Amino acid sequence: MRTIIRIHFEGDTLPIVQQRLRTADCGPDVATMEDVPVLRQVFAEVTLEQTDPRVGVLLARLKKDDISWMEWHEDRFTEEELEAAALLLMQPNRGCEVDGGVEWGTTFDLTGACPSCATGCQQSSALFIDGEDIPKLEGHRAGHTYFWHILVDEGLAAALEDGGVTGLSFRSVYGVMKDKRQVKLRWKQLCADHVLPRMSPSTTGIARPVQSPRLRPCEVCKRNGFVTTPEAPTRVVYRAADLRGALDVNQTWENYWSANIDGDFREAVLSRPWTVVTPRVYRIFREAGVKSFDWHPIRVEDTDR
């Protein structure tokens, strides 16, 4: 595993930004620049190994110039490390993303769900997606909606079934066209049936911020409002005893982002769980050439402490 850092900063003009990059010896192999004349701003993004001495030089220069920056820390893994993990967090990376869910007519049974945020509700219909987004699926074998419903093409669904993968079920996928017609697609929604217990408190990189202007974590169930944090790489830990019931495909107890179920349910925003799978599932996605998810090995900690 290696950890990289992505640093994003802005400047008023291209020469200023270039000068800052040159100070830290950051060439085009590690830095990209985007000049947006309309905003009179130039955006730069630098990707370096966390241990690279240029990180310190660049940040010192930005501090000296009184420039604020954003930074993200991310782990990168080898195939061997992914294969050796007990479980992998499957993080949608927007490589193939469509609109779909409640707004398009997907229904949910709220029995047993949190009355305040609907977390824990059960999908009760096929998955409906925006018909205008159907072309975005072309050339892909798997993708996801903005709300992390996972889509696989029929061939990949069959490969998962033939592989005897446990813990999953499939639902049909329909595109809702402009004239309201529902067109059945040659895609399936991959659904996880099993909910894992809570992650271990040793987990880093997935957290529930205390306050954020755009987030409204539910204080009734406390199951949603989780986000990936930029400061720490995503390192999920489970207690060994909590994984006894784990299957090949699972969902997390923790739900990403917050929900809003005030008013018409068709306009609701639901928080969504992460999907956690065994390397067996990862292998089937990899062999299908799927690139729309990032995979993070999960660490299992001893429970007898």
Identify which range of 8-16, 88-96, 108-116, 199-207 contacts Zn ion by CB under 5 A.
108-116
Q: Are strands 249-256 and 194-195 parallel, antiparallel or unpaired?
A: parallel
CB of 1 to Zn ion, least distance (A): 34
Cβ neighbour number for residue 122 with a 10 Å cutoff? 12
Helices and strands, counts by H and E, the chain: 5, 21
Which position among 21, 117, 246, 298 is part of the footprint of Zn ion (CB under 5 A)? Answer: 117
CB of 223 to Zn ion, least distance (A): 6
Pair 30, 46: CB distance under 8 Å: yes
Contacts of 26 (CB under 8 A, 6+ apart): 46, 48, 54, 58
Which position among 13, 51, 116, 169 is part of the footprint of Zn ion (CB under 5 A)? Answer: 116
CB of 273 to Zn ion, least distance (A): 13
Contacts of 102 (CB under 8 A, 6+ apart): 108, 147, 265, 266, 267, 268, 269, 270
Identify which range of 11-19, 52-60, 86-94, 115-123 contacts Zn ion by CB under 5 A.
115-123
Per the listing, tokens 């029995």 go with 111
**Does position 114 bind Zn ion by CB under 5 A?**
yes
Identify which range of 136-144, 198-206, 218-226, 277-285 contacts Zn ion by CB under 5 A.
218-226
Contacts of 39 (CB under 8 A, 6+ apart): none
Nearer Cβ to Zn ion (19/116): 116
Return the SS3 of 61.
helix
Nearer Cβ to Zn ion (98/118): 118
CB of 262 to Zn ion, least distance (A): 13
Contacts of 244 (CB under 8 A, 6+ apart): none
CB of 19 to Zn ion, least distance (A): 50
Which position among 17, 88, 192, 221 is part of the footprint of Zn ion (CB under 5 A)? Answer: 221
**Does position 220 bind Zn ion by CB under 5 A?**
yes
How big is the site for Zn ion, counted in residues (CB under 5 A)? 7
CB of 241 to Zn ion, least distance (A): 26
Residues 157-216 that bind Zn ion (CB under 5 A): none
Residue 300 CA to residue 104 CA, distance in Å, equals: 38
**Does position 96 bind Zn ion by CB under 5 A?**
no
Site residues, Zn ion (CB under 5 A): 114, 116-117, 119, 218, 220-221
